């Protein structure tokens, strides 16, 4: 099964035992609402 970027991020975050707020406070430079949309595949990550 091919996973989306959002699914991969969510799986990794959960494996680390963190909620979204804790995960993005570990150095990510995005808002919690943006990250939530990424996990739901409503937004795509750009580099």
pLDDT tens-digit map of 6-32: 999 999 999 999 999 999 888 778 889
- pLDDT value of position 18: 94
- pLDDT value of position 39: 93
- Nearest-angstrom CA–CA distance, 31 and 16: 19
Provide the angle, in degrees to the nearest 10, between the axes of the packed helices 5-15 and 32-39. Answer: 110
Asked if residue 19 belongs to a domain, the reply is yes
| Residue recorded with tokens 């969510």 | 10
Asked if residue 26 belongs to a domain, the reply is yes
- pLDDT value of position 11: 96
Phi-psi region of 41 (alpha: psi -120 to 50; beta: other; left: phi over 0): left
- pLDDT value of position 46: 76
Asked if residue 17 belongs to a domain, the reply is yes
User: Dihedral of CA 36/41/44/47: which sign?
Assistant: positive
Asked if residue 46 belongs to a domain, the reply is no
User: 37 pLDDT band (50/70/90 cuts)?
Assistant: very high
pTM above 0.85, yes or no: no
Structure tokens at 2: 């091919």
Domain with 27 in it:
5-39
Number of domains in the chain: 1
């Amino acid at each position: 099964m091919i996973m989306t970027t959002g699914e991969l991020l969510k799986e990794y975050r959960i494996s680390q035992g963190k909620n979204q707020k804790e995960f993005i406070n570990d150095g990510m430079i995005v808002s919690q609402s943006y990250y939530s949309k990424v996990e739901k595949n409503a937004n795509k990550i750009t580099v």
